[in-house]
Amino acid sequence: MPFPKGHSHSEATKARMSKAHRGNKHARTHGLSRSSTYESWEAMKARCLNPHNVKFPEYGGRGIAVCRRWMKFENFLADMGLRPKDTSIDRINNDHNYEPLNCRWATANIQNRNRRPLQRDAKGRFVSTIFSKGTGIEVLA
């Protein structure tokens, strides 16, 4: 397809990219819209904010929210940094929101130890069972 008269290939490409990114502020400002960090941010918001998301009942449906500051990707990035390889976002306290003091990048192994309690003890307190890695013995945490 020929370029408009007076335009080079790079100018045409720039014009096309500019038009494509006009409505996407994030793509223009940080260049990370295809990064694992950005994908984690988008997935976090979807779990908490989108009632049509398959995981919404476990997150937004039970009151887990994303802090107002993290509604802007640049703030999330400033607080969390780039996502390290083989990690995903983890809430330290699973009953609290996605917010700077409650989140970290964690491996699957760490996250498997950080699950919501599934049972109550005799006093009505939640307890969770964790299997000791080397022994296979179940211990209450």
Q: How confident is the model at residue 131 (pLDDT cuts 50, 70, 90)?
A: very low
**What pLDDT shows up at residue 11?**
60
DSSP secondary structure string for all residues of 78-125? HHH-SPPTT-EEEESSTTS-B-GGGEEEE-HHHHHTS----EE-TTS-
Statement: residue 92 has pLDDT above 60: yes
pLDDT digits over 16-73, tens only? 444 444 555 544 567 888 899 999 999 999 999 999 999 999 999 999 999 999 999 9
Q: Which two tokens stand for residue 113?
A: 């130890």
Statement: residue 84 has pLDDT above 60: yes
Long-range contacts of 105-112 (CB under 8 A, 24+ apart): 105/80, 105/81
**DSSP at 26:** H
Statement: residue 3 has pLDDT above 90: no
Q: Minimal CA–CA distance to 98: which of 58, 26, 48? A: 48
Average pLDDT (132-140) is: 42
